Amino acid sequence: MISEDKIAEIRDRAPIADVIGNYVALKKSGSSLKGLCPFHNEKTPSFYVHPNRGFYHCFGCKASGDVFSFLMHVEGKTFPEVARDLAEQTGVQLPVYDPQREAEHQRHKKESERLASLMQAATEFYCDQLREHPDAAIARDELAKRGISDDWVRNFRLGYAPHGWDSLVRFFERAGSSPADAEAVGLIVSRRSGRGHYDRFRHRLMFPIADVHGKVVAFSGRALDPAPSMEEHKEPPAKYLNSPESALYHKGEVLYGLHEGRVEIRREDATILCEGNFDLVALHQAGFTNAVAPMGTAFTEGHAKLIKRFATRLFLLFDGDEAGRKAVREAYGVLDKVGLSAHAVTLPQGSDPDSFLREQGTDALRARVTNAPTIIEYLIDDAAGRVEPNPRAKAEAIAKLGPILARVESPIERGLYVERVARKFGITDLALVRRELRRGLGRGNERRRTARDAVQQDIAPRVSELQSKLISALIDQPTLIQEDEAQKLPSLLTNKDLRAIFDSILRMVDSQGSLEVTALLEELHSNQLRPWLEEQLAVQRHSLEEARRIVCDGVLLLEQRNIERELPLLQQRIVEARRVGDDALAAGLTQEFVELSRSAHRLKQTNAKQR
């Protein structure tokens, strides 16, 4: 648990404009800052940051909140994780509630920082070698042949591992780094005979692999053509050599390119999953900066869960060969378990994303991504394309699709997929296709599904334009709420949600003299007008004098309108009293009607003079 005082201290020491400015290019707009929303795709800025209120709001996707909610959303972290990170960055001391757990946390943190500093030093060493080592020309030629520009070499911190056995070992010795730590993260290897270590990566183009927070946790080294100074190899080295798992690196939980692409993934609500290092860098360079790649392992449930923290849609972009098609088939089970919506992008036989981009260009690949079939459509087409042209083989292939279609919850989608199966396998009788699909489920395992689609429509309550304008003015200049004219509002506001907002602002100003945005939103978390309130808090629209004029004029006009609305109702009560013979009640109501009519007339004249 973190106290409210500590949360407020963290919030004060972590200016929201500075934090969000690390992710979004912000420009001055009045008293606010604005930029392109990191949470959805847009061309015109609708994302506003209000530094004084410590609040952000997007008028496009309606995302809003404070510095904590922003980092939780963009980084996919929990509140305690964000709070701890910000506390450490801003020097806020958090209390220790469990000394044993805190000691373990600090021990683990120091170890991670020590190992991470070694990985960072190795990254810088490999980058320097790519520029300076005589044999690095082979690595630079490989990059040039692939069309990777110098900018993207720097963006991804690509480097070169020299072919000598101990170049990195000697670098760490000069720096006084621990050989045990370097061995623990897989940078060097202990010699089998004798003492000492040797470099794990030698004469390779180096790809640093960062975790989602940008910390280098592993390397992937790509083999290169031999250098003239190298001894002749008896057998060619493995094409790729990856770091072993370590305290920093678990390959089933890390995706190459996720840190670099996380903001664009949020904005697009979509991720492109490819397979190779060069594919990933080439995709980012071509503008597909939401691309990621698993390292040295098949696509895992851990990968899928990591992606789902940032996006709900996934595009599988694998090589156009049997291995690529097999990878799509294997990915389906993982994606279905996690609940990610997926599409499969097909490439020509023998192509990979890197070669396709170089040969056919960005527009051609974008068209394939845009028109990519759902993964179920792909699996249907793939099964039909591989089946032998005989009835038994077709029946078996259709039956194998049964468990896949049974997982589709929407009956409309499921029906369309059944039609696609019939069309692709050349069968005109849909009943036969359905029977074969059911057979594939196995006896006693047929899954009957009911439609669970519930269309939820948010209906915003109708709010008077005048009343909302008055509250908007008080939000911008909350001290006005204590003035006489504003104090009339509780009896004049006809919308209960606006009254609740007014009451919350009044209590906050009375108790602390100002408006605290986060506390206000928390207090009004169930208020139906909270989306409207978030929009008002995002941008300050009224100066003090402007707001005072709106309140003074608006209260008078609201009084007039309320009376004018009351008069016809009063007339109806007078008629009803006379109809039942209650002359005393009719006389009293008539007197009230006359007084209200006079008040309405006076207010009308006053309002006319002020206009």
Residues 490-501 pLDDT 10s: 888 888 888 899
Query: Which class for 52: exposed (0-12), middle (13-18), buried (19 or more C-beta within 10 A)?
Result: exposed
**What pLDDT score was predicted for residue 184?**
94
Between 594 and 428, name the one with better pLDDT: 428
- Residue 281's pLDDT band, with cuts at 50, 70 and 90, is very high
**What pLDDT score was predicted for residue 443?**
36
- Residue 590's pLDDT band, with cuts at 50, 70 and 90, is confident
- Residue 600's pLDDT band, with cuts at 50, 70 and 90, is low
Decide: 431 and 471 in contact? Cβ < 8 Å.
no
Say how many residues make up the chain.
611
Angle between helices 375-386 and 391-406 (to 10 degrees): 170
Average pLDDT over the chain, rounded to an integer: 86
What would the mean pLDDT of 29-48 be, rounded to a whole number? 89
Torsional class of 141: left (φ above 0), alpha (ψ -120 to 50), beta (otherwise)? alpha
Who's near 532: CB < 8 A, 6+ residues apart? 460, 463, 468
Between 170 and 321, name the one with better pLDDT: 170
Residue type, 96: V
Q: Burial code of 392-419, b = ≥16 C-beta within 10 A, e = fewer? A: eebbebbbebbbbbbebeeeeebeebbe
What would the mean pLDDT of 571-583 be, rounded to a whole number? 77
Question: Does 453 score more than 50 pLDDT?
Answer: no
**What pLDDT score was predicted for residue 455?**
24
Between 592 and 434, name the one with better pLDDT: 434
Alpha carbon distance 261, 183 (integer Å): 30
Question: Does 456 score more than 50 pLDDT?
Answer: no
Decide: 279 and 353 in contact? Cβ < 8 Å.
yes
Q: What is the DSSP annotation of 306-350?
A: HHHTT-SEEEEE--SSHHHHHHHHHHHHHHHHHT-EEEEE---TT
Report the DSSP pairing between strands 255-256 and 291-294: antiparallel
Between 601 and 551, name the one with better pLDDT: 551
Question: Does 96 score more than 70 pLDDT?
Answer: no
Torsional class of 133: left (φ above 0), alpha (ψ -120 to 50), beta (otherwise)? beta
Alpha carbon distance 391, 411 (integer Å): 27
Of 148-152, 372-376, 534-538, which gets the smallest average pLDDT?
534-538
Alpha carbon distance 208, 216 (integer Å): 6
Between 476 and 235, name the one with better pLDDT: 476
**What pLDDT score was predicted for residue 232?**
58
Decide: 440 and 402 in contact? Cβ < 8 Å.
yes
Which element (helix H / strand E) includes 169?
A: helix 167-175
Q: What is the pLDDT of residues 146-190, one digit of tens each?
A: 999 999 999 999 999 998 889 999 999 999 999 999 999 999 999
Q: What is the pLDDT of residues 513-531, one digit of tens each?
A: 888 888 888 888 888 888 8
Alpha carbon distance 471, 481 (integer Å): 9
What would the mean pLDDT of 194-212 be, rounded to a whole number? 92
Between 283 and 100, name the one with better pLDDT: 283
- Residue 447's pLDDT band, with cuts at 50, 70 and 90, is very low
Walk me through the domains of the chain, giving residue ranges and CATH numbers: 4-90 (3.90.580.10), 105-249 (3.90.980.10), 253-372 (3.40.1360.10), 378-441 (1.20.50), 465-610 (1.10.860)
Q: What is the DSSP annotation of 73-112?
A: HHH---HHHHHHHHHHHHTPPPPPS-HHHHHHHHHHHHHH
Question: Does 98 score more than 60 pLDDT?
Answer: yes
- Residue 99's pLDDT band, with cuts at 50, 70 and 90, is confident
Beta-sheet strands, E only, within 171-231: 188-190, 197-199, 204-210, 216-223
Helix (H, G, I), strand (E, B) or coil at 146: helix
Decide: 315 and 345 in contact? Cβ < 8 Å.
yes
Report the DSSP pairing between strands 313-317 and 270-273: parallel
Alpha carbon distance 376, 285 (integer Å): 30
Question: Does 437 score more than 60 pLDDT?
Answer: yes
Residue type, 255: L
Alpha carbon distance 579, 586 (integer Å): 10
Alpha carbon distance 469, 554 (integer Å): 8
Question: Does 342 score more than 60 pLDDT?
Answer: yes
Q: How far is residue 100 from each of residues 97, 106, 139, 150, measured CA to CA in Å?
A: 9, 10, 49, 48
Cα 537 to its chain centre, rounded Å, is 22
Q: How far is residue 333 from each of residues 138, 349, 378, 456, 554, measured CA to CA in Å?
A: 41, 24, 14, 29, 61
Who's near 535: CB < 8 A, 6+ residues apart? 57, 59
**What pLDDT score was predicted for residue 358?**
94
State percent of the chain over pLDDT 70.
92
Q: What is the pLDDT of residues 297-314, one digit of tens each?
A: 789 999 998 898 888 899
Query: Which class for 292: exposed (0-12), middle (13-18), buried (19 or more C-beta within 10 A)?
Result: buried
- Note if the pTM is more than 0.75: no
Q: What is the DSSP annotation of 436-463?
A: HHHHHH-TT---------------PPP-
- Residue 462's pLDDT band, with cuts at 50, 70 and 90, is low
Between 580 and 142, name the one with better pLDDT: 142
Nearest 10 degrees: Cα torsion 401, 407, 410, 414: 10
Q: What is the DSSP annotation of 468-493?
A: HHHHHHHHHSGGGGGSHHHHTHHHH-
Question: Does 377 score more than 70 pLDDT?
Answer: yes
State percent of the chain over pLDDT 90.
43
What would the mean pLDDT of 192-214 be, rounded to a whole number? 90
- Residue 70's pLDDT band, with cuts at 50, 70 and 90, is very high
Torsional class of 54: left (φ above 0), alpha (ψ -120 to 50), beta (otherwise)? left
Question: Does 449 score more than 60 pLDDT?
Answer: no
Alpha carbon distance 128, 132 (integer Å): 6
- How many alpha carbons lie under 13 Å from residue 610 in its C-beta half-sphere? 15
Helix (H, G, I), strand (E, B) or coil at 58: strand
